[in-house]
């Protein structure tokens, strides 16, 4: 249950995003929120780490990259929920001697637990990331996957759909049931979660 | 179970059904007859609406005898989160993972998400045959990377290694580099099979045939066998890479293949009949193997002499010999192997860090003792599985074959049939003298002897309205006696309607919620009244008075936690309420079941009912008052 926030804690945008005034969002022009997304206090979203065409802020000696790369750093789908103190930062990779950032895509109905660190390349729909979990750079979490609390998903790992991963490093420890993600049941609480946020 | 409070579990009735023969349940090819037909909740058509079927009566009997105890050891096996349960439309029963059988639909690699055709699964050893490897040190996935591209000039060139980005292990630690970044598994296979020393390079490609190196001086003596079987063996070798954990020393895979071949030829040579099934491809695990053993015993035992004494005894069965030479797969442990191991372990270049841990060794060949002998592990394949009802064999879940797809062709989950229970605590009413209109109570520390109100919402996913009767023991079982009262045990839940209605409903929901929320302050739970009602859901109030933990001093409240912890079983202080749910609804009669004789009227309804136990995990009771 999210804590009852003080009145006016959340800014509600036209598309229904509820964003805490105490969150830290950098590079807002590089972040796309799908609507009805909740961002709680002290969450850090690093939109400023987008893929640069040629500037040298991330890497002083990089050769010019093809500029057709979109400058969107983070995409978040609908009804996703970024808990308190969670960190979203785009993944980065050293490719041919160049350190560059890649976009971070988060699907719909995603839950990111408290003080989790997400550096994945993509989180699918209905993904649940537990509190204190770390998702390493360029990891891919497919739809309906669950990352248990405190798990460390190593960089580059792929978590298939319906799988539960846990541990350090994360391994597949089980599968969720077929009913996972049904509205209102486990994995399908996103609308309810959204609804109660910011209510006095 | 480690779910945060509040949680709800549903008990699959299969745990209560007496199983006369425990072995029967294990057999997958069970007779399609239901073990307990009286559990069938369907009201047969000759019975009126008011007539109670057997099942109800039986459950009432059970009720009188004993209520469901969430703490009994048996409950562990029947309680499941609602989303894990399935529902069989033919048995009209909840199906838990224990009452289904599974069939593999497809194999796929969890790392590259490619499907492996079932014909390849066995030859690949159930592992990914591409470039997917797990780190032998920490099990994280390994990435293929070059080692000479740091400067950027020779990109795409140069030797490749597998590296773990979690523990920074690379194949350089065991002295392996790869020529090309593709087909790493076969490259690795060649290296580990063909080399005898742990230091090798992929560029030395010679000797990829394992048997060349396997030949020891002794193998000259077995040259006849060798020649006769060489061709077959080579074919075998190339086609089957059975075991994916070779050692760098001797080529465990090659040795395994040699041994397998050796025994196959032995069997074919020693078999009595030419059409012995053992000599065929199916070999060792076929039922013929048992036949052969039985006939061995039968022909040689004295019993056969007694009962079949007049017959001429069969010729003595030829005896199989064991492998004698290295080319047959024999490996003789050298005398100083163990001493060398022992000397190496405490030496300064090995030490604790140099010895492979038990968990690392379980995945490797048994000879591996040190971390520099660990080989990358090809990723184990996973499966997508279809699920069938164990008793009636109807398919309940059938996922799409493609690994990437999350859709199902058939998915009969229990949540589409039984109401979805959700639990939430009600904010302390102002009437409560202890605190005013406080926040919602902390479920991890419920104070004993203080009334709490818990809202239980049941949401109907069926397209028919459902009548619900809830029952609960007035005092929870276990050593902590908590009083529970369902304030409104009988109520109705509206029918689910289609998705668009729901969407529209959701748009207006916050408003209505807010109104009820405002009223929530004044609203007092009343006996016999539904707390709140929506289109397809109904909320009722449970009044819960947590009992005192044994050892709690009601007066001074100074019992130390240690005493209580000692006197309590683990999780004895968790407040779990068993609730019996009985649901009744009028379903449209299904075509295959009835009305073949009758003229099928469109409004032909069949009364159905379903009953089950569920467990509400409310919270944890505090020790002190």
Structural domain boundaries, residue B365: 115-305+314-378
B384's enclosing H/E stretch is: strand B382-389
Share of chain B above pLDDT 70, in %: 61
Query: What distance in Å separates the CA atoms of residue B325 and residue B296, rounded to the nearest whole number?
Result: 27
ipTM for this prediction: 0.85
Establish if A57 belongs to a structural domain.
no
Residue B624: strand, helix, or coil: coil
Establish if B25 belongs to a structural domain.
no
Interchain proximity A184–B143, CB inside 8 Å = no
The total number of structural domains in chain B stands at: 2
Give the closest of B110, B138, B440 to A160, CB-based: B110
Q: Does A165 touch chain B (CB under 8 A)?
A: no
Whether the predicted pLDDT of A134 surpasses 90: yes
Residues B250 and B187 in one domain: yes
Render pLDDT for B312-354 as a digit per residue (tens, 0 to 9). Answer: 555 566 677 888 877 777 877 778 888 888 888 888 888 888 8
Count of CB atoms within 10 A of residue B312's CB? 6
Tokens 């009767």 belong to residue: B469
Residues B592 and B449 in one domain: yes
Structure tokens at B100: 């289904």
Interchain proximity A186–B83, CB inside 8 Å = yes
Q: With bands split at pLDDT 50, 70 and 90, how would you rate the model's confidence at A172? A: very high
Longest dimension (CA), chain B: 99
A157 CB neighbours in chain B (<8 A) are 111, 140-141
Last residue of a domain, one of B348, B378, B408: B378
**Average confidence (pLDDT) over B186-192:** 83
Establish if A63 belongs to a structural domain.
no
Structural domain boundaries, residue A44: 10-52+68-196
DSSP for B297-310 reads HHHHSHHHHHHTTT
Residues B427 and B477 in one domain: yes
The pTM (predicted TM-score) of the whole model is 0.74
Last residue of a domain, one of B322, B348, B378: B378
Q: With bands split at pLDDT 50, 70 and 90, how would you rate the model's confidence at A129? A: very high
Query: What distance in Å separates the CA atoms of residue A163 and residue A143, rounded to the nearest whole number?
Result: 9
Whether the predicted pLDDT of B495 surpasses 80: yes
Establish if B504 belongs to a structural domain.
yes
Residue A11: strand, helix, or coil: strand
Establish if A114 belongs to a structural domain.
yes
Q: Distance (Å) from the C-alpha of residue A42 to the closest C-alpha of chain B?
A: 23
Last residue of a domain, one of B378, B396, B429: B378
Q: Does A14 touch chain B (CB under 8 A)?
A: no
Number of residues that this document lists for chain B: 625
Q: With bands split at pLDDT 50, 70 and 90, how would you rate the model's confidence at B63? A: very low
Print the SS3 string covering B544-594.
EECCCCCCCCCCCCCCCHHHHHHHCCCCCCEEEEEEEEEEEEEEECCCCCC
Render pLDDT for B582-599 as a digit per residue (tens, 0 to 9). Answer: 999 887 766 555 444 444
Query: What distance in Å separates the CA atoms of residue A4 and residue A2, rounded to the nearest whole number?
Result: 6
Longest dimension (CA), chain A: 52
Establish if A62 belongs to a structural domain.
no
DSSP for B446-480 reads BPTT--EEEEEEEE--SSS-EEEEEE--SB-SSSS
Establish if A147 belongs to a structural domain.
yes
Nearest 5°: CA angle at A98, between A95 and A104? 65
Establish if A157 belongs to a structural domain.
yes
Q: Which residues contact B6 (CB under 8 A, 6 or more apart)?
A: B423, B424, B425, B443, B454, B616, B617, B618, B619
Q: Which residues contact B603 (CB under 8 A, 6 or more apart)?
A: none
Render pLDDT for B80-131 as a digit per residue (tens, 0 to 9). Answer: 888 889 999 888 888 888 889 999 999 999 999 999 998 888 888 889 988 8
Nearest 5°: CA angle at A62, between A59 and A64? 125
Render pLDDT for B438-494 as a digit per residue (tens, 0 to 9). Answer: 567 777 788 888 888 888 989 888 888 889 999 888 888 877 888 888 888 888 888
Interchain proximity A158–B112, CB inside 8 Å = yes
Q: Distance (Å) from the C-alpha of residue A159 to the closest C-alpha of chain B?
A: 7
Q: Distance (Å) from the C-alpha of residue A74 to the closest C-alpha of chain B?
A: 23
**What rounded mean pLDDT belongs to chain B?**
71
Query: Which CATH number goes with the domain that contains A162?
Result: 2.160.10.10
Count of CB atoms within 10 A of residue B554's CB? 10
């Amino acid at each position: 249950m999210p804590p009852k926030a003080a009145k006016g804690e959340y800014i509600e945008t036209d598309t229904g995003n509820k964003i805490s005034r105490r969150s830290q969002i950098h590079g807002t022009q590089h972040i796309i929120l799908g609507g009805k997304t909740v961002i709680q206090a002290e969450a850090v979203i690093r939109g400023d780490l987008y893929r640069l065409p040629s500037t040298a802020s991330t890497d002083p000696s990089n050769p010019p990259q093809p500029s057709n790369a979109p400058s969107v750093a983070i995409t978040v789908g609908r009804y996703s929920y970024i808990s308190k103190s969670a960190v979203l930062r785009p993944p980065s990779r050293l490719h041919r001697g160049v350190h560059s950032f890649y976009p971070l895509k988060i699907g719909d109905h995603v839950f990111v637990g408290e003080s989790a660190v997400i550096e994945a390349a993509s989180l699918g729909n209905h993904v649940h990331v537990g509190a204190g979990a770390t998702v390493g750079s360029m990891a891919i979490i497919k739809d309906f996957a669950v990352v248990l609390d405190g798990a460390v998903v190593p960089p580059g790992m792929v978590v298939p759909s319906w799988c539960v991963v846990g541990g350090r490093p994360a391994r597949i420890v089980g599968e969720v049931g077929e009913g996972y993600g049904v509205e209102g049941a486990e994995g399908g609480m996103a609308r309810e979660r959204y609804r109660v946020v910011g209510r006095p | 179970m480690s779910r945060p409070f509040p949680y709800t579990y549903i008990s699959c009735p299969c745990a209560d059904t007496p199983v006369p023969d425990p072995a029967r349940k294990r057999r997958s090819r069970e007779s399609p007859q239901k073990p307990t037909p009286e559990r069938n909740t369907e009201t047969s058509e000759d019975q009126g609406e008011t007539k109670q079927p057997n099942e109800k009566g039986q459950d009432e009997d059970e009720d009188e005898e004993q209520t469901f105890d969430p703490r009994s050891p048996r409950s562990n096996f029947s309680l499941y989160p609602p989303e894990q349960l399935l529902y069989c439309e033919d048995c009209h029963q909840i199906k838990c993972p224990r009452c289904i059988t599974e069939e593999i639909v497809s194999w796929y690699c969890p790392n590259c998400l490619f499907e492996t055709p079932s014909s390849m699964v066995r030859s690949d050893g159930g592992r990914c045959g591409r470039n997917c490897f797990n780190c032998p040190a920490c099990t994280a996935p390994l990435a293929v990377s070059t080692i000479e591209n740091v400067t950027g000039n020779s990109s795409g060139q140069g030797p490749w290694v597998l590296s773990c980005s979690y523990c920074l292990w690379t194949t350089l630690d065991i002295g392996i580099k790869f020529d090309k970044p593709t087909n790493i598994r076969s490259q690795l296979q060649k290296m580990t099979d063909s080399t005898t020393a742990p230091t090798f390079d992929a560029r030395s490609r010679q000797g990829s045939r394992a048997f060349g190196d396997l030949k020891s001086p002794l193998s000259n003596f077995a040259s006849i066998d060798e020649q006769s079987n060489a061709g077959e063996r080579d074919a075998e070798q190339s086609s089957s890479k059975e075991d994916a954990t070779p050692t760098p020393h001797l080529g465990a895979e090659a040795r395994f293949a040699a041994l397998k071949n050796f025994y196959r030829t032995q069997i074919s040579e020693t078999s009595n009949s030419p059409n012995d099934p053992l000599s065929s491809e199916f070999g060792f695990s076929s039922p013929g193997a048992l036949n052969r053993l039985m006939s061995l015993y039968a022909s040689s035992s004295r019993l056969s002499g007694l009962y079949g004494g007049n017959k001429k005894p069969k010729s003595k069965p030829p005896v199989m010999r064991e492998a004698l030479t290295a080319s047959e797969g024999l490996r003789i442990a050298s005398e100083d192997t163990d001493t060398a191991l022992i000397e190496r372990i405490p030496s300064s270049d090995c030490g604790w860090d140099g010895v492979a841990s038990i968990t690392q060794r379980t995945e490797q060949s048994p000879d591996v003792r040190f971390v520099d002998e660990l080989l990358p592990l090809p990723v184990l394949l996973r499966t997508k599985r279809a699920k069938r009802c164990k008793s009636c064999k109807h398919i309940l879940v059938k996922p799409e074959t493609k690994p990437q797809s999350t859709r199902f062709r058939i998915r009969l989950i229990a949540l589409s049939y039984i109401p979805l229970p959700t639990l939430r605590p009600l904010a302390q009413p102002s009437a409560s003298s202890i605190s005013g209109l406080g926040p919602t109570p902390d479920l991890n520390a419920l104070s004993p002897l203080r009334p709490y109100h818990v809202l239980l919402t049941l949401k109907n996913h069926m397209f028919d309205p459902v009548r619900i009767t809830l029952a609960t023991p007035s005092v929870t079982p276990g050593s902590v006696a908590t009083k529970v009262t369902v304030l409104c045990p009988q109520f109705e839940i509206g029918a689910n309607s289609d998705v668009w209605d729901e969407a529209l409903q959701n748009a207006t929901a916050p408003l209505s919620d807010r109104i009820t929320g405002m009223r929530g302050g004044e609203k007092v739970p009343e006996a016999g009244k539904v707390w709140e009602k929506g289109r397809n859901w109904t909320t009722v109030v449970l009044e819960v008075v947590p009992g005192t933990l044994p050892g709690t001093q009601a007066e001074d409240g100074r019992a130390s936690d240690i005493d209580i912890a000692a006197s309590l079983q683990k999780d004895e202080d968790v407040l779990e309420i068993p609730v019996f749910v009985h649901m009744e609804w009028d379903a449209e009669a299904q075509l295959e079941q009835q009305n073949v004789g009758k003229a099928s009227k469109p409004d032909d309804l069949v009364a159905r009912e379903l009953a089950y136990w569920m467990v509400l995990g409310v919270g944890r009771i505090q020790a002190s008052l």
